[in-house]
Amino acid sequence: MKAWLRGSVVSLLALGASLTGCGSASEDPESIQSEGDLKKEDTGDWEPKPLAWCKVLTGETATAECGTLESFDLSACDAESFDAVDAQGVFTLHNVGDDIAENDNASYLSAFRVLPDGSTFVNGIRYTESRFDSRTFYFSRSRTLPNGQVSRTAFVGCKARGPHRVTGCYASCVGGVPAYQDTFEAEKVVRLPGEGESSGLPLVGEGTVSHGIAADVYVTHGHAYVAGIYQGPMGPGGLHVFDLSDRTAPRLVKSIVLGGDSYWNAVWARGNALYVASLVRGVLVFDISDPANPVFQRNFPGGPSLNVHTLYGDGDRLYAMSPGPTPQTLIFDVTNPLEPVLLHRHQDPSVDPTVASYPHDATAQGNRLYVNHWRAGLLILDVSDPLNIVKLGEYKYPYATSHTNRVGVFDGRTIAFEGGEDWGAHLRVLDITDPTQVTLIGEYRLTPGVSIHNMELKGDRLYLAHYQHGVRVLDVSKPKNPKEVAYYNTWRETDRQRGIIFHDGAIGIRIPGDGYVYVTDTSRGLLIFPEL
């Protein structure tokens, strides 16, 4: 999740799932062929263009206060289409600015919720006016700024594309004048057609965190350590410790919060050391020789404030991915687990410094590190010498949000499973056998309004933490054709604080080899399933 990077631009109504399916290519080969035979075109996750044909009237054409329903020119819209819309519920939202071709940041994500009485909340903020009927889809919010001017933000639907999807226009007005306009698409969060709570993946046990949003989990010493992040009404993040003596009823035995530091997004362990990624203090190290009572030791590498977002351990190496203040990957020697030694801070020279990109996550295997570098895509690095890291190859696509990956070998070829975190983001299957010629060979897509967050690969099973679509288990024995074999829908609209963020639902996943799959859900906390 990258809530710390996004602005708080308001967003609009999202509408429901229209795409289903879980396959990729149409063929079903018995083995992986050469990349030249299987290369697929990658056009990105969404098309950079206006999403609707409406706008706020200005100048002499304006006949109503900016941001009111009457102030929008809806002459090119299809009002009759809204008769089929099911407006009540939670929606995910994608806004795209008219300047998207020149401004890489003119695309942003959010969520909103419409209650049975029509009350509407965008990112948890109440909108003061709403109207949903057979010809209208509209909500707005007015407030008085410190300088006395009135600010109004508004969303209006232009066309409904079925009961669960709407496109329309957004406007932000100050003092009766449009300050910003763009277009949006919204998708209602619903289960995929024909799905129930689960298929082939029964829930073993569940444990709730006491505060914050559950983000990541690591299992060791008979305990599950859940890292949490701050989220408004849900409170501060922290570290939550669950005793796993009875996996049908994991027991919360301790929660830890450090003052002024409430955004802990990732967790890893080696020996009696537990590592936690902090938004402001780098890597926090805890002694877990007494597993139920982690004791904070110190933060690494020390010095100025440092945002570490994710962690990945490989033997005596610990990799810490930092978005800022400088986008870099920190490499630690953890031969002595409680005393990490910083070997190097790697800032990849191939990444355009003018592009909003940063290392988000990574997977290490042997001497190679596969870094998800957001807009710069998936980077393949030789890290055999941490002081002389060599880039071997990359894979990127238009408006990339390369977010997470896992790597395995199938039929003698090295395959990377890459997931983005954006509107339309999905699983990409990449042949990286030759890192200088990375090839897209397969894909797995669900609905555009829900993306993947994390994944784990065990043999020929790929487990996805797929936000509002819960946990998805794929058979990837034939990598170019991922086949869904099980699922569990963790997201329920009745859970606490649903619909206040785009990134909502199954978020973290870990498979430690004890026969179980451990998942974190932003609202429900820790969930335990059998490994398939």
For 35-58, give the DSSP string: HHHH------SS--S-S-S-EE--
Among 101-105, 154-158, 172-176, 382-386, whose mean pLDDT is lowest?
A: 101-105
Binning pLDDT at 50, 70 and 90, where does residue 2 land? very low
Asked whether residue 4 carries a pLDDT value surpassing 50, the answer given is no
Q: For residue 301, is the peptide bond before it cis, meaning its omega torsion is within 30 degrees of 0?
A: yes
Strands 150-160 and 213-220: unpaired
Report angle CA 165, 169, 175 to the nearest 5 degrees. 145
| pLDDT, mean over the chain | 92
Asked whether residue 322 carries a pLDDT value surpassing 50, the answer given is yes
pLDDT digits (tens, 9 = 90+) for 448-479: 999 999 999 999 999 999 999 999 999 999 99
- Residue 7 is predicted with a pLDDT of 35
- CA-CA-CA-CA torsion sign (54, 59, 62, 67): positive
Q: Report how far residue 285's alpha carbon sits from residue 294's, in angstroms, rounded to the nearest whole number.
A: 9
- Residue 368 is predicted with a pLDDT of 98
Asked whether residue 188 carries a pLDDT value surpassing 90, the answer given is yes
| Tokens 């490499």, located at residue | 331
Q: Quick one: which of 443, 462, 459 has its CA closest to 24?
A: 443
What percentage of the chain carries pLDDT values higher than 90? 86
Q: 3-state SS of 282-314?
A: EEEEEECCCCCCCEEEEEECCCCCEECCEEEEE
| 95's tokens | 């806004």
Binning pLDDT at 50, 70 and 90, where does residue 33 land? low
Q: Report how far residue 520's alpha carbon sits from residue 419's, in angstroms, rounded to the nearest whole number.
A: 18
Q: Quick one: which of 75, 87, 249, 80 has its CA closest to 165?
A: 87
The single-letter DSSP state of residue 258 is B
- CA-CA-CA-CA torsion sign (307, 312, 316, 317): negative
Cβ atoms of 183 and 96 within 8 Å: the answer is yes
pLDDT digits (tens, 9 = 90+) for 401-438: 999 999 999 999 999 999 999 999 999 999 999 999 99
Name the burial class of residue 459, with classes exposed (0-12), middle (13-18) and buried (19+) by CB atoms within 10 angstroms of its CB: exposed
Binning pLDDT at 50, 70 and 90, where does residue 234 land? confident
Q: Report how far residue 192's alpha carbon sits from residue 67's, in angstroms, rounded to the nearest whole number.
A: 34
Cβ atoms of 320 and 306 within 8 Å: the answer is no
> Which three-class secondary structure state does DSSP give residue 88?
coil
| Tokens 């969404």, located at residue | 46
Report angle CA 491, 493, 497 to the nearest 5 degrees. 95
pLDDT digits (tens, 9 = 90+) for 350-373: 998 888 899 999 999 989 999 999
Cβ atoms of 156 and 174 within 8 Å: the answer is no
Q: Quick one: which of 328, 249, 336 has its CA closest to 282?
A: 328
Binning pLDDT at 50, 70 and 90, where does residue 21 land? very low
Q: Quick one: which of 261, 253, 310 has its CA closest to 507?
A: 310
The radius of gyration of the chain from alpha carbons, rounded to an integer in Å, stands at: 23
Query: What's the rounded mean pLDDT across residues 305-316?
Result: 98
Q: Report how far residue 172's alpha carbon sits from residue 166's, in angstroms, rounded to the nearest whole number.
A: 19
Q: How many CA atoms lie within 13 A of 83 on its CB side?
A: 4
Q: Quick one: which of 254, 281, 243 has its CA closest to 265?
A: 281
- Residue 310 is predicted with a pLDDT of 98
pLDDT digits (tens, 9 = 90+) for 250-298: 999 999 999 899 999 999 999 999 999 999 999 999 999 999 999 999 9
Q: Which domains does the chain have, with CATH numbers?
A: 35-188 (2.40.128), 198-530 (2.130.10.10)
| 473's tokens | 């288990």
276-to-224, 280, 520 alpha-carbon distances in Å: 13, 12, 16
